[in-house]
Amino acid sequence: MTAPTVELLWWEGCPSTDRALAELRDVLAAEGLDPDAIMLREVPTEPAAEQEGFVGSPTIRVNGVEVAPAPGEPGGLTCRVYVRRDGAVSPTPDPEDIREAIRRAGVGAQADRRSREHRTRIS
């Protein structure tokens, strides 16, 4: 089984990127996936945000699908606000939403660990 593509999209003005990355790594490790196999993608401009469908930072996608979709939200360089399952407002998605997205992708505890962390910049 192949590991999913896990992306963390962010912009430089976001103070929550490090927290999101740490929480994402924790979930990946708990699911038996390589916690360093995250594609970090900086969204540097408003046009890039619009083109990417980026509704704020941090955004986490598994195989191209948002772990916490925000339908109707406009794209832009802004901070996201999530509501966790317990009702708490958070700058990062609920870890259970990440876990479910990974499981929907058909992977989990026996996934392939061959991926490496990648850093790219969206232009």
Domain count, the chain: 1
Q: Is 75 part of any domain?
A: yes
Give the domain range for residue 75. Answer: 6-121
For residues 75 and 80, what is the distance between their CA atoms, to the nearest angstrom?
A: 11
Cβ-based neighbours of 59, under 8 Å, separated by 6 or more: 7, 8, 9, 10, 66, 80
Residue-wise pLDDT tens digits, 64-121: 999 999 888 888 999 999 999 999 999 999 999 999 999 999 865 444 333 434 455 5
Q: Is 31 part of any domain?
A: yes
pTM as predicted: 0.84
Q: Is 107 part of any domain?
A: yes
**Confidence band for 11, pLDDT divided at 50, 70 and 90:** very high
Q: Is 85 part of any domain?
A: yes
Is a pLDDT exceeding 60 seen at residue 30? Answer: yes
Give the percent of the chain with pLDDT over 90: 78
Q: Is 1 part of any domain?
A: no
For residues 53 and 72, what is the distance between their CA atoms, to the nearest angstrom?
A: 11
